[in-house]
Structure 1
Amino acid sequence: MTALTWISLVSLLAWLWLLLGQGFFWRTDQRLPERRPPRSWPEVAVVVPARDEAEVLESSLGSLLAQKYPGRARVVLVDDNSTDGTGDIARRLAEAEGSLPLTVTTPGEPPAGWTGKLWALRHGVELAERQGTPVYLLLTDADIAHGPDSLADLVSAAETSGLAMVSQMARLRTSTRWEKLIVPAFVYFFAQLYPFRWSNRPGTRTAAAAGGCSLVRADALERAGGVAAIRGAVIDDVSLARLIKRDGGRTWLGLAEAVDSIRPYPELGQLWRMVSRSAYAQLQHSVLLLAGTVLGLALVYLVPPVATVIGAATADWPALALGGAAWLLMTATFVPMLRYYRLTPAGALLLPFTASLYLLMTVDSAVQHWRGRGAAWKGRTYG
């Protein structure tokens, strides 16, 4: 057996393990759990941190203000020092007849040790709790549009299943060719790192959430130390889920059906920055984890097509067979995610190319960190 054959064998074994032993991460059937209308609808406060979101706010905030929630609910938009009129747009939207009550507030610049989003969230949560006694807090981003029954569905799921946190991965935009290539893989890789089934199972170490749409019990958040407990987290959604689950709360994460991200990423550069700003933080800024990730991505995603092509060109039939089998498994596991995004399954054959881009984004994230630029977002940089 040639060296290429041995490497191809290891790659195939890795794919067999990923297929069966990684929480069936590739399946897309984790949707909102069973939900029944509660006897009495608990009070909810919706907290939206927003920084320079004038481009998307009319659709996103408008969808929140139009929620058909049977109980008492209000919205707090935290204008994080925007310079594009975000706060003025929010106030205008609140004048629509039948809208939920809206408060627009500004927290000031975040102190040292805080990320801007979490400083805004803390400010919004504290204001919401001064205005009333919310049982639940819906933490949602300013680029997320919700279906009219989204809030009621989230609360029903939490009440029915006794969940301290219910989070939905918003369906990201896939309009341009780059979005179609990069976005489904982003969710696919996230699910591979944090299999939803494992995260949703009580007693497991895996915990994850999607920051764009997370309903949290206010008392569970307080017991876990509040937003201040994760004040410097760049990947705040996963950090919050770990916080809640470690304190004994049940968490749930799944794919959304009526929650959509409307932020456009039409060009590769925009998508690149979206991924690279937090990739090295995901690796805990560890050179060893970075090296392992690069080698792992190469072995799992790049070896199969390379072995298939070289094996066919050199008549190395074992390498061809093993590499082809691994590539087939890789392609099959990606098809459900493409179907969820309503894209052609044939695009799964391009996953090795997409993975190579993610490999480069991860390396670039580390390089930016070493240069002192850290995780940059809307004019702020975090080390």
Structure 2
Amino acid sequence: MDVVRGLAVLALLVWVWLTVGRGGFWRTDLRLPARRQPDRWPPVAVVVPARDEAAVLPETLPTLLAQRYPGPARVILVDDGSTDGTAALAERLADGHRRERGGEHPGLPLTVIAPGEAPDGWTGKLWAVRHGVAEAGEVEFLLLTDADIAHGLDSLANLVAGAVATGCDLVSRMAVLRTRTAWERLVVPAFVYFFAMLYPFRWVNRPGARTAAAAGGCCLVRRAALARAGGVDAIRGAVIDDVALGRAVKRSGGRIWLGLAEEVRSVRPYPTLGTLWRMVARSAYPQLRYSPLVLAATVLGLAVVFLVPPASTVAGAVTADPVTLLAGAASWLLMAATYGPMLRYYRQPVAAAFLLPGTALLYLLMTVDSAVAHWRGRGAVWKGRSYPASR
């Protein structure tokens, strides 16, 4: 019983530190500053890597073409070896948009390019981004956004105004992910919560802090800062490319900003546990840098932080041990309290915060499954491609 009591107290101490000493990771109030009109609107190119995205493009591409940006801007869609007619569909959507808008406001122009298969050492997405950046020419800003991301009409203008106002070289906003099915409602808010726990946004945004990250679905970067960081070539093999981009820009002396958004949303469906499992598992072991030791520490940490509180609460109640009961219940309450703001952000019942230990167990199993896949030589698999651990 002493071991259970000790674990319960340890979990409580960890949760006290997480709550007050982890950069306020649980807060969801970090937004771009209120938009101020820049003295001039710099030229921007929107680069969209797309592989087999015909199912989502009708919901997302028109939102980019319709951007209300006062300066020069264009959209470059890079077809990353699609087999479902993504490129042709993009052209049709752009033609339809121009015909619908017509007159003096036809929307942003679209260019579609297809660089072919990525060479060894590159992920397909970053090979596509590299060619999109090259096609953009000498613009001041590049908006790197995924094909499944829908933007509000002023998203681009707000990003640029925020970057100009703050002097940041990289501004990224975490897109609101889809939460329509029961599994999405259980897993998705926790995905963003765990990301913020790993990379507290306020630490990311602090110039002197080592923590760096970005949200890959919506990254506005100064072209000069990207070049100073080594360009896309510097992160060419990264599976978790958004975090790699944030690190590269910050390490090269750039200022970065990461926050939440409400006008930027992902339309990608993850209707089943299997689809969510694959989404998480593809990047879980790469996030741990393919290290068995880090994996073991992560599994142990997840168990102590998320599983011990409810287990010790039950154990303390059954054995009438007040120390174990109070420590377990207090840490479980702190866990739920820090998760509540994310559930409110996703418009989910706050009472569901007490289910976080079960969701954390799923993530633990997904992480182990990701490692097993790498040990079996399958690597990270996404959209028909497998990336070995050497990357």
* Same fold (TM > 0.5): yes
Shift of 1:69: 0.4
Distance between the aligned counterparts of 1:32 and 1:188, measured in 2?
Answer: 19
Residue 111 in structure 1 maps to residue 122 in structure 2: no
Shift of 1:318: 1.2
| Residue 231 (structure 2) aligned to one of 222, 226, 229 | 226
Q: Secondary structure at the match of 1:257?
A: strand
Question: Which residue identity does 2:362 align to in structure 1?
Answer: L
Shift of 1:30: 1.0
Per the alignment, residue 365 of structure 1 pairs with 370
Shift of 1:287: 0.5
Question: Which residue identity does 1:54 align to in structure 2?
Answer: A
| Residue 295 (structure 1) aligned to one of 288, 300, 303 | 300
Per the alignment, residue 102 of structure 2 pairs with none
Per the alignment, residue 355 of structure 1 pairs with 360
CA RMSD across the alignment: 0.8
Per the alignment, residue 259 of structure 1 pairs with 264
Per the alignment, residue 69 of structure 2 pairs with 69
Per the alignment, residue 19 of structure 2 pairs with 19
Shift of 1:2: 2.1
Question: Which residue identity does 2:216 align to in structure 1?
Answer: G
Per the alignment, residue 90 of structure 2 pairs with 90
Shift of 1:251: 0.2
Residue 331 in structure 1 maps to residue 347 in structure 2: no
Instruction: Spell out, residue by residue over 1:124-172, the C-alpha distance to the aligned partner (whole angstroms, 9 max, x if none).
Output: 110111xxx2100000000000000000000000001101000000000
Shift of 1:212: 0.2
Distance between the aligned counterparts of 1:48 and 1:344, measured in 2?
Answer: 34
Instruction: Spell out, residue by residue over 1:259-318, the C-alpha distance to the aligned partner (whole angstroms, 9 max, x if none).
Output: 000000000000000000010000000000000000000000000000011111121221
Asked if structure 2 preserves the Cα contact closer than 8 Å seen for 1:54 and 1:84, the reply is yes
Equivalence map 1:139-158=2 (5 Å): 139-158=144-163
Instruction: Spell out, residue by residue over 1:333-370, the C-alpha distance to the aligned partner (whole angstroms, 9 max, x if none).
Output: 00000000011101101000000000000000000000
Unpaired stretches in structure 2, ≥5 consecutive residues:
99-105
Asked if structure 2 preserves the Cα contact closer than 8 Å seen for 1:8 and 1:307, the reply is yes
Question: Which residue identity does 2:324 align to in structure 1?
Answer: A
Instruction: Spell out, residue by residue over 1:17-65, the C-alpha distance to the aligned partner (whole angstroms, 9 max, x if none).
Output: 1001111100011111243111110000000000000000011111000
Question: Which residue identity does 1:307 align to in structure 2?
Answer: S
Equivalence map 1:198-347=2 (5 Å): 198-347=203-352
Distance between the aligned counterparts of 1:177 and 1:372, measured in 2?
Answer: 32
Asked if structure 2 preserves the Cα contact closer than 8 Å seen for 1:279 and 1:362, the reply is yes
Unpaired stretches in structure 1, ≥5 consecutive residues:
none
Q: Secondary structure at the match of 2:6?
A: helix
Instruction: Spell out, residue by residue over 1:189-218, the C-alpha distance to the aligned partner (whole angstroms, 9 max, x if none).
Output: 000000000000101100110000000000
Shift of 1:3: 1.7
Distance between the aligned counterparts of 2:62 and 2:380, measured in 1?
Answer: 30
Distance between the aligned counterparts of 1:361 and 1:81, measured in 2?
Answer: 28
Distance between the aligned counterparts of 1:342 and 1:140, measured in 2?
Answer: 24
Asked if structure 2 preserves the Cα contact closer than 8 Å seen for 1:34 and 1:160, the reply is no
Shift of 1:109: 0.3
Equivalence map 1:34-73=2 (5 Å): 34-73=34-73
TM-score w.r.t. the length of structure 1 is: 0.98
Distance between the aligned counterparts of 1:288 and 1:329, measured in 2?
Answer: 28
Per the alignment, residue 78 of structure 2 pairs with 78
Asked if structure 2 preserves the Cα contact closer than 8 Å seen for 1:52 and 1:84, the reply is yes
Q: Percent identity?
A: 68
Instruction: Spell out, residue by residue over 1:65-85, the C-alpha distance to the aligned partner (whole angstroms, 9 max, x if none).
Output: 000000000000001111111
Shift of 1:247: 0.9
Distance between the aligned counterparts of 2:60 and 2:129, measured in 1?
Answer: 17
Structure 1 window deviating more from structure 2 (92-101 vs 7-16): it is 92-101
